Amino acid sequence: MAGVAAALSLIFLAVPAPVAHGQSTAPATTQAQPAASPAGGTAQAVPQAAVPQTAAPQTAAPQPPAQGTQQSTSTAQDLEAPTIKIQVNEVDLVFTVTDGKGHFVPHLDQSAFGLLDNGRPPEQVFRFMQETNLPLRVGIMLDTSSSIRQRFQFEQQSAIDFLLQVLHRNDRAFVEGFDIETDVAQGFTNNVDLLDQGIHKLRPGGGTAMFDALYSTCKDQMLTLREANAVRKTIILVSDGDDNYSHALESDAIKECQRSETTVYTISTNVSPSKDKGDDVLSAIAAATGGRSFFPTRIEDVAGGFASIEEELRSQYPGTSPPRLRNKR
C-alpha cells in the first residue's frame, strides 16, 4: 500500500523452563564440562598408613580422603556451570499503520503493508489479526503535585471527556492521582460515573514521586490482571515530568511497565515555548514502552492529546513473530 508506514512496539518475554538438578537444557553444540570426582579417577589417591613387619597380618583400614579434596571438587562444579540457550515461543507485536498524512489506516490485510523491526523485516509472522478494537484496560494517572495546581482542572476535565469517548462495553479503567504518594481514587470499572467521581476526589498538593507512582501502578494494577482473552493494557500519564521525590529510578519504572506489557502514553502539562528536562523524561518513558508523547502548546489543548490517544488505541494491529535467540547463564 503506497505511502503507508508502520510504527511498532516490541515486548520481549523470556520464561526459562525448569531445569532438573544435574541436567542441562543446553543445545547439542554446547558441551558442559564434567566436574572432577574422586570416583572418576581425576583426584589424586591418598596413601595408606604403613603396617609394621612384626604385626600380625591384617587388612589395613582405608583412610579417609585428605582434608580439602571434597571441597575442591564442589568448587570445581560450581565454577563450571553450563551456558544455557533459551528460546521463547513467540513475540507479540502491537503496531499502527498511517498514511502519508499521518492518518491511521484500519481494516487492512497483512499483505497491504510491510513490517520492519529496526529496519529489518521479521523472519516470519506467525499470526496476524485485523482486530483493532481489543478490550482496553486503561489507567489514568494524573499528577496532583503542587507544581501543576493551576492546571489541574484542565487535567480532570480532559480525562473525564476521554473516558466518556473511549470506554466501550468490554473496556475497564481506573483513575489515580500522585504526588509523594499514589492515590487510587477508583479501581478498574466500566462505570464512567464512578470514574468521574474518583477524578473529582483528587486534590493537588505536595512533591512529585512520578517514578514511584508509575512503578507501583504497573506492578499492582497491570501485572496482576488476569484475563481469559487478549486485552490491551495502557496507562495515560499526565504530568510535567519533573520528579523530585522518588526512590525508584526512571529505568526501574520503565522496566516494570515492560514487564507488565503496558504501553504508556504521556501528556505534558508544560506549556512553555521550549521543552525542559521533564519533557525529555516523558518522551523516554513513552518511547521505551511503545507509546507516544504529546506536548500541548496551551493547557486547554491537553484534551487534544487524549483524543489522539483514543484514535490510536482503536487503530492498532496485534501480530506475532519469532523471537531472537539470547544466551543466558
CATH number of the domain encompassing residue 246 = 3.40.50.410
SS (H, E, C) the chain: CCCCEEEEEEECCCCCCCCCCCCCCCCCCCCCCCCCCHHHCCCCCCCCCCCCCCCCCCCCCCCCCCCCHHHHHHHHHHHCCCCEEECCCCEEEEEEEECCCCCECCCCCHHHCCCCECCECCCCCCEECCCCCCCEEEEEEEECCHHHHHHHHHHHHHHHHHHHHHCCCCCEEEEEEECCCEEEEEEEECCHHHHHHHHHHCCCCCCCCHHHHHHHHHHHHHCCCCCCCCCEEEEEEEECCCCCCCCCCHHHHHHHHHHCCCEEEEEECCCCCCCCHHHHHHHHHHHHHCCCEECCCCHHHHHHHHHHHHHHHCCEEEEEECCCCEEEC
Instruction: Indicate the pLDDT class of residue 74, thresholds 50, 70 and 90.
Output: low
Instruction: Indicate the pLDDT class of residue 90, thresholds 50, 70 and 90.
Output: low
Same domain, 150 and 255: yes
pLDDT of residue 191: 97
* Of 35-44, 152-161, 242-251, the least confident: 35-44
Same domain, 149 and 212: yes
Same domain, 329 and 210: no
Q: Is residue 51 part of a domain?
A: no
Same domain, 205 and 227: yes
Instruction: Indicate the pLDDT class of residue 81, thresholds 50, 70 and 90.
Output: low
What is the model's pTM?
A: 0.66
Number of domains comprising the chain: 2
Instruction: Indicate the pLDDT class of residue 24, thresholds 50, 70 and 90.
Output: very low
Same domain, 282 and 329: no
Q: Is residue 143 part of a domain?
A: yes
Same domain, 120 and 212: no
Same domain, 167 and 289: yes
pLDDT of residue 132: 60
pLDDT of residue 137: 96
* Domain ranges, residue 275: 136-313
